[in-house]
Structure 1
């Protein structure tokens, strides 16, 4: 399997080089040059497997340059860090299937990909006798999952930008209480979109990127998306065995389009998904795109689901590549237009194509809290606010004719304030969260300025 850029000037990379490059050197995002097509028989065999075996089989289709025994070892090692035998179990509650993605070390769905990517980086760096300085931005969960994926690993320093006082208290503590010498937390005076912009601008300076040996751990790295494809297959198999269904809906709370893009790849591979339901909070640029063809930026609105408080979705470019018939020239034009005007427009034919794969809706702050409250009253099960957005929108847009799977992207204890407001009680704190506020912290406050972050990297990066 070889990889190419959405912008057309990078192609022919093997999986190892694609992982190490992260953001393509032409400013685009990397994708496989072909997506494997699986038969119903193939899918039936895959979805009967245990999670690590399924992950090995799916990832192998895209990572042929990694020896099979090495890849199997990396995957098995990655999922030993999870506290549930199934890794991503599915539970049936209130007529829907909840795909629990929060059983990793930081209790968020990002662990599924970042435990794997951290181990993959360490493996490739050792193989090449090299070092890496990881630079990433987070709206909350990516940062802690990335840090836990590489803390203490040899030949890696990690620099994570998070928006100051715009993540939940526990999300902030999960990052800032990791004091391993190779971990650097930077709180920027701005939004997640500012952090994402800084990261892309720094990676766009190819000479600096090379000199600093920069690597990407945000979902701009294809390996992140690939690892997330697996749990769509796993969940489908579990629901099919319970219901004998022929197809399912997946409802995905998303702000950055990475998690739902993994579902789109699974659908292109042949997984029988009737529609992917995109669920947003008040920061609804993606919902407006799908429902109205309006992809235009606005001010970021703080919500109870802060990991989705995003306007510019970094993975959207990958979807545009397919929507535009895999035409990199059109992608280049669109991204230039977006940078200049803050908006994109789409034809009726393009929106009809979008509608064959996606439905979308949004939830206000009050609707999110009401969903947490009603779901808890009906089942005793506590949703985190991001998952509540997906549940609200998924139930609203489907009628029960096929099963609905809602992705539970984080443990509710990560968002205790929202849960308390909704149901009048705190979620039970998992042991990993207890006494976090008493631990030593290390973090630096910095302007949301590309030059300031570059200067900090120059002073602290591995050389």
Structure 2
């Protein structure tokens, strides 16, 4: 299988090359030239498969013949061995035909573990085969960083540098990153917001001249195709558990960068019958404004109780636009240039096509706290603030009560004690046993000004020979 850029001017690449490349040379994002399609009969035959077995079925077509099936199976098995729950992605019922898909059972208590545990093992496999060393540079609004570090801490051929916005992630999120004391792990607290971190990473990929000879940057953010690919699996897993393909399923997804919900869109394109995908946002609601009012304009970023969604530039939305505009790279390039100036407007045709599958809703912090309190009072189930937004967005926009609605729970509530306390809990939610000493561990991170030259200087001086 070949991969092409959303802007149409970069060369097509193989799977392994796309994993190591990240952003395309024309500034676009790589997507498969064609998507694999599964028949209703084939999907039905997967009912009852264990999560790892299902992952192998879904990922194999994307990898084609580049990784032998036995090796891919081994990579998948190792990736999910560190998950605490035997089901990997368990479902919990919280209402009539309303389900929570717990995606926080991995080592860093966030859905990012599904993709980044796999990506870490995949990178190790590819780099050893090529006898190559790389530098990972990533931006995080909270969860990507810790999951990437956990996935790559033992990679011999990787130096990893993660930028997080200084004092704009929760203490648990920060400590999950900064207490990993390994010679190849480096944390940068950037004096800015998440979009500043993301913009610096994108600019660094465009000009990698600051790196030593023979090194290249590799992306761990959701611009990396392998992450999206791994996330498709749990949509099929939840769907099969609730009666697909013989009945349609709906999903509500708390999202900022559009990667997680884009994986759901791909699952639908590949044959999973999805009736509705709900884009759930906090006050940083550019995606909700776009779907509801065709207002995709930048506004000042608001620091919220759901910091992983404090994003105004949703990178993966470009992949969606590529399909909405008939895979016309020239039109996408023009849209992205418009957006760089502050705003872009979708065509009526593209917006209508998006609304066939997508709905959207936004909640502010006060509404989020109310949902956490209400759900706990009724069910004794404790939501993190991101999941709470997903639950309420589903309830407000649901098209059919007869269709199962699955709300993706993207993080463990222990990562966001401030929101949980404001919702009326008298004590911080307990961290799982393997993380119970988190607040006693040594931390290491560098606070750096929002200055490209200073960040590049720090990276260059800390790359291992």
- The two structures have a TM-score, normalised by structure 2, of 0.97
- Residue in 2 that maps onto 1:361: 361
Q: Which residue of 1 aligns with 2:89?
A: 88
Distance 1:209 1:338, change over 3 A: farther
* Equivalent in the alignment of 2:167: 165
The CA deviation string for residues 253-272 of structure 1, in whole angstroms up to 9 with x for no partner, is 00000000000111111110
**Deviation for aligned residue 1:336:** 1.3
Superposition misfits of 4+ residues, deviation over 3 angstroms: 206-212
- Give the SS at the match of 1:185: strand
Decide whether the 8 Å contact of 2:160 with 2:185 is kept in 1.
yes
The alpha-carbon deviation at position 115 of structure 1 amounts to 0.3
Structure-2 separation of matches of 1:275 and 1:11: 34
Match of 2:381 in 1: 381
Number of the residue aligned with 1:183: 185
| 1:237 aligned residue (240, 252, 275) | 240
**Structure 2: how far apart are the matches of 1:113 and 1:321?**
23
For residues 437 and 161 of structure 2, the distance between their equivalents in structure 1, rounded to whole angstroms, comes to 24
Q: CA RMSD for the aligned pairs?
A: 1.3
Correspondence 1:50-89 to 2 at 5 A: 50-64=50-64, 65-89=66-90
- 2:118 paired residue number: 116
Distance 1:38 1:209 in 2: 42
How far, CA to CA, are the matches of 1:401 and 1:225 in structure 2?
29
**Alpha-carbon separation, structure 2, partners of 1:337 and 1:397:** 30
Q: More displaced, 246-255 or 18-27?
A: 18-27
Partner in structure 2 of residue 216 of structure 1: 219
Q: Which moved more, 1:135-144 or 1:39-48?
A: 39-48
Q: Does 1:288 align with 2:308?
A: no
Matches within 5 A, 1:438-449: 438-449=440-451
Distance 2:363 2:57 in 1: 36
Q: CA 1:245–1:421 in 2, change beyond 3 Å: closer, same or farther?
A: farther
Which residues in structure 2 correspond to 1:188-207 (within 5 Å)?
Answer: 188-207=190-209
Q: Provide the secondary structure at the position in 1 that maps to 2:242.
A: helix
Q: Which residue of 2 aligns with 1:347?
A: 347
Matched with 2:313 is 312
Matched residue count? 460
Partner of 1:27, secondary structure, is: coil
- Displacement of 1:209 in angstroms is 6.3
Alignment match, 2:141: 139
What's the CA shift string for 1:58-116, capped at 9, x where partnerless? 01010011111110000001010101111111111122111000000000000000000
User: What displacement does 1:411 show?
Assistant: 0.5
1:239–1:245 CA contact under 8 A, matched in 2: no
Query: Is the CA contact (8 Å cut-off) linking 1:160 and 1:185 kept in structure 2?
Result: yes
Work out which of the residue numbers 409, 430, 433 in structure 2 matches 1:431: 433
Give the SS at the match of 2:62: coil
CA distance in 2, matches of 1:288, 1:344: 12
SS in 2 for 1:313: coil
Deviation sequence 1:167-192 (CA, Å, 0-9, x none): 01100111111111110000000000
Deviates more, 1:329-338 or 1:417-426: 417-426
Q: Is there any run of 5+ residues in structure 1 with no aligned partner, and where?
A: none
